[in-house]
Chains A and B, each alone.
Chain A
């Protein structure tokens, strides 16, 4: 089943027309999106580095994961909300961009990985985890979110 009709529908929304016909809304949501990227990256990296045995090693992993979780979730919500108008207003460009699909697949895998494997692991006592498993999870998480960022940037640069 093709998703093209769905993308055509998004492109035809009043929201899309508003963003295409006005000057400032697009750069404003792009900037909000990029600041949210920085907050999200910080929230992810503090915990991933901790899993790799780097960074804030004096703080128990579960404590660290719990303190940054509101920022992780909050910035992700901002990313989605500020991403929606950018996607709908350029829906056909996104549909035909291989990088858009690369990014969204990586986002999907990243979210599932973060709320299942990574979260379950971060919230457990470290002694139960052994030395290898947390490192694998940290590397996978960094790799997934880095590939999201690369894909995202290339949508704009290479179509």
Chain B
């Protein structure tokens, strides 16, 4: 079912046009990396604040309130360019091991952020000035740092489509 979705996109005229564009992919990938700096840069410091590694004197809610729009801006460009790359070369990404691992890391990062937001963050006003945040907040910070490191690494590794477990290649998805 997922395969047929990717195959359906693959033959769309717009997908073919973007795929055959000479500068489309370099432009998209470059914008993807630049916007990654904004998204990941903000998220890393936000997470490091939660984990007690950086910005210890900055109240947690201040980081959230002032940096969330910047993170969202970066995420919008990042997701837009990422989706455009997948849209233009669906059958390059479909059989790619790291692409799917990255996808799951992104899902986990979203779940982690939402879980944090709707649980631990409810009491943020009680601990936001503490250099050492509550255990659960620290864990959410560490989990997010690990997941984003994973997202960056698996994103870079998409280029290494052959450096994957043998069983994956045996699936012959490509």
Given contacts A59-B58, A67-B57, A150-B30, contact A45 B37 (CB under 8 A): yes
How far apart are B51's CB and chain A's nearest CB, in angstroms?
13
Does A153 belong to the interface (CB within 8 Å)?
A: yes
Q: How many residues of A contact B (CB 8 A)?
A: 37
Complex interface: chain B residues within 8 A of A145 (CB): 37
Q: How many residues of B contact A (CB 8 A)?
A: 33
Q: How many residue pairs at the A-B interface have CB separations less than 8 Å?
A: 104
Residues of A within 8 A of B (CB): 23-24, 27, 30-31, 34-35, 37-46, 49, 54-59, 63-64, 67-68, 71, 145-146, 149-150, 153-154, 157-158
The chain B residue sitting closest to A157, CB to CB, is B26
> In the complex, A58 Cα to B148 Cα: how many Å?
27
Flag if B153 contacts A71 (CB, 8 Å). no
A-B contact pairs, 25 of them (CB 8 A): A27-B156, A27-B157, A34-B156, A35-B149, A38-B36, A38-B41, A38-B44, A38-B148, A42-B37, A46-B42, A55-B67, A56-B66, A57-B66, A67-B55, A68-B45, A68-B55, A71-B45, A145-B37, A149-B30, A149-B33, A149-B34, A150-B30, A150-B34, A153-B29, A157-B25
How far apart are A140's CB and chain B's nearest CB, in angstroms?
16
Complex interface: chain B residues within 8 A of A56 (CB): 58, 62-63, 66-67
> In the complex, A24 Cα to B162 Cα: how many Å?
12
Flag if B152 contacts A38 (CB, 8 Å). yes
Flag if B30 contacts A153 (CB, 8 Å). yes
Does B8 belong to the interface (CB within 8 Å)?
A: no
Given contacts A27-B156, A34-B152, A42-B45, contact A154 B58 (CB under 8 A): no
> In the complex, A14 Cα to B154 Cα: how many Å?
29
- Which residues of chain B in 128-152 are interfacial with respect to chain A, using CB atoms and an 8 Å cutoff? 148-149, 152
Complex interface: chain A residues within 8 A of B63 (CB): 56
Does B160 belong to the interface (CB within 8 Å)?
A: yes
